[in-house]
Amino acid sequence: MAVLNFTLSEEGVSSLRDALTCVSKFSDEVSLEAKKDKVSKRPADNEAGITTKYRLPFELTPPVHGKFDRNEASNHWSIRSRSLRQIMDYFGPGIEYLDFHSEDDETVNFTCFTEKVKNGEEVLKKPLHTSIAVERGEFEDFDVHEDQLHIVISVKDFRAIIQHANFLGSQIFAFYSLPTKPLQLKYEGDGIKCEFLLMTVGERGAPGQKAKKNRGGAKGPKPPQLEAATSRAASHAPTPVPRVPPQPQATRPDPVPSLRPSIIRPSQRPPPATFESESLFVPQDDEHQWDPVNLGEDEEEENARLEWDIRGDFHAPATNARSMMTNRNTQESTSNNATEDDLPHLEPTQRLSQVRKFGLFDD
CB of 111 to other proteins, least distance (A): 9
In the complex, the smallest distance separating the C-beta of residue 321 from other proteins, rounded to whole angstroms, is: 10
| Between 59 and 278, CB nearer to other proteins | 278
Where are the alpha helices (H) located in 271-348, listed in sequence order?
299-306, 316-319, 321-338
* Closer to other proteins by Cβ: residue 74 or 107: 107
- Outline where DSSP puts E strands in 7-81: 75-80
Q: Which residues of 338-363 are buried (b: 16+ CB within 10 A; e: fewer)?
A: eeeeeeeeeeeeeeeeeeeeeeeeee
Helix 81-89, helix 155-168: angle, nearest 10: 140
Query: Which of 303, 330 has the CB closer to other proteins?
Result: 303
C-beta of residue 68 within 8 angstroms of C-beta of residue 216: yes
Q: Interhelix angle for 10-23 vs 155-168, to 10°? A: 170
Alpha carbons 10 and 341: distance in angstroms, whole number: 59
Question: Closest distance between other proteins and the C-beta of residue 233, in Å?
Answer: 13
Question: In the complex, what is the shortest distance from the CB of residue 231 to other proteins, in angstroms, rounded to a whole number?
Answer: 17
Residue 137 Cβ vs other proteins, minimum distance, rounded to whole Å: 6
Cβ nearer to other proteins, comparing 48 with 250: 250
Sheet holding 141-143, edge to edge: 141-143, 75-80, 171-176, 183-189, 192-198
Nearer to other proteins, 167 or 173 (CB): 167
Residues in a beta bridge with 141 = 78
Instruction: Work out the burial of residue 95: count CB atoms within 10 Å of its CB; fewer than 13 is exposed, 13-18 middle, 19 or more buried.
Output: buried
Beta strand pairing status for 97-102 and 151-154?
A: antiparallel
List residues bridging with 251 in a β-sheet.
none
The DSSP H or E segment spanning 107 is strand 107-113
> Which lies closer to other proteins via its Cβ, residue 54 or residue 290?
290
Q: Which of 224/248 has CB closer to other proteins? A: 248
Q: How far is the CB of 164 from other proteins (least distance, A)?
A: 10
Q: Which is nearer to other proteins, 43 or 238 (CB)?
A: 238
Asked if 218 and 31 count as a contact pair (C-beta separation under 8 A), the reply is: yes
Least distance from other proteins to the Cβ atom of residue 327, Å: 21
Do 83 and 174 touch, CB atoms closer than 8 A? Answer: no
To other proteins, the closest distance from the beta carbon of 347 in angstroms equals 28
